[in-house]
Amino acid sequence: MQDVQNSPADVSMSIDRVGINNFKLPIVVSDKAQGRQHTVALVDMGVDLPAAFKGTHMSRFVEALENWNEDLSYATIKNLLRDVKERLQARKAYARFSFPYFMRKRSPVSGASMLMGHECVWAGELVDGKPDILLAVEVPVMTVCPCSKAISDEGAHSQRALLRISVREKGFVWIEDFIEIAEASGSSPVYPLLKREDEKSVTERSFANPCFVEDVVRNAAHRLEKHPQLSWFKVEVESLESIHAHNAFACIERTLP
């Protein structure tokens, strides 16, 4: 049969990345408490395409996933990228796995237990045989405004903030490490289940620990700098402001020795 993809392109222009996205796939990730955790990822995959070719072979991305070990890690993503690069005879290969990761969280006073999901991403690119792989985690926290607390006769405005931590690793890391770092960096963690005694505790502790978005990003970055298995990190904090018609954000990015 005619191989239309390998025919000349109507417009001779190279494409930076072409492939498939939003492909649902069951995966397994390392779980610090249970050993392994089953979840479902949305997968994006792509390669570069030289100007001479009309199209890429989309089915080969799915074939690569079918033959791939479903345990998701730095090493298995690197192997997948190499396989995709070879199958499509490309110079660059890209893959992104977006998935929810669940941790069981206990309320601070009642001990009520419930699973809480966190959005995570493993993403990697292979260029001329060199892998660049990132792990990213998004974690919600609560913040109380120090300024509002200082100037108000009663109360202070509080809101949820999102911490997005991205890392390059130089050794094995646990997703839980970064969730814990994020939760320790705001006024209070966010909980999936709270009884009245828990709400009292969370409110009082958070108002005793007010944080600007600048405080949160510095707290997280300070903790990330001490992590022994990181070569680079980026932490972004977005405060979903409750009394302002805008959000506030802060970002720190560092390369580590």
Residue 1 inside a domain? The answer is: no
Indicate whether 197 pLDDT > 70.
yes
Domain that holds residue 137: 16-255
Q: Which tens digits make up the pLDDT trace of 36-57?
A: 999 999 999 999 988 887 767 8
User: Residue 246: how many CB atoms within 10 A of its CB?
Assistant: 7
Residue 6 inside a domain? The answer is: no
Residue 8 inside a domain? The answer is: no
Residue 11 inside a domain? The answer is: no
Q: What percentage of the chain has pLDDT greater than the value 70?
A: 95
One-letter amino acid at 60 equals: R
Residue 5 inside a domain? The answer is: no
Indicate whether 111 pLDDT > 70.
yes
Global pTM reads 0.92
Into how many domains does the chain fold? 1
Domain at 23, CATH number:
3.10.270.10
Q: What's the rounded mean pLDDT across residues 211-217?
A: 98
Q: What are the CA-CA distances from residue 25 to residues 59, 174, 189 (Å)?
A: 15, 21, 30
Indicate whether 80 pLDDT > 90.
yes
Q: Distance between CA atoms of 141 and 56, rounded to whole angstroms?
A: 43
Q: What percentage of the chain has pLDDT greater than the value 90?
A: 84
3-state helix vs strand vs coil in the chain, percent to 5: 25, 45, 30
Residue 178 inside a domain? The answer is: yes
pLDDT of residue 3: 57
pLDDT of residue 128: 85
Residue 117 inside a domain? The answer is: yes
Three-state secondary-structure class, residue 223: helix
Tell me whether residue 130 is exposed, middle or buried, using C-beta atoms within 10 angstroms of its C-beta: 0 to 12, 13 to 18, 19 or more. Answer: exposed
pLDDT, averaged across the chain: 93
Residue 36 inside a domain? The answer is: yes
